Amino acid sequence: MAVRILIKRRFKEKHFKEISEMIREHRYGAMRQDGYLSSETLWDIKDPYRVVVASNWETLKQWNVWKNSAERVAAEKEISQYLDGETEYEEYQLGMYPH
């Protein structure tokens, strides 16, 4: 069953160019992974330094393979220097709740 992952971050002020470039490169890495379906980046209207990436995957297992990969861990380390707080992750199953 497909899943949606919400990746929530708040960045330090300034550095829009660096932040945007890192998010774009991060997405390109995800796009090369098995199970990646799509993603979108949402910039908070009231707080332009708060960003949510909504990423869709075929399975939670495939997301976790990417999340824990050396490539992604290295990218997350690079992004962390611009963060104002910790990255938050939320995982959702798409569709109706299975009974």
pTM, to two decimals: 0.89
Q: Which residue has the tokens 């550095």?
A: 15
The CATH architecture that domain 3-93 belongs to is 2-Layer Sandwich (3.30)
Q: pLDDT per position in the chain (99 positions), as tens?
A: 899 999 999 999 888 888 888 888 889 999 999 999 999 999 999 998 999 999 999 999 999 999 999 999 999 999 999 999 999 999 999 887 765
Domain residue extents for the chain: 3-93
CA dihedral (53, 66, 11, 93) positive or negative = positive
Strand order from edge to edge, sheet including 3-10: 36-43, 50-57, 3-10, 88-93
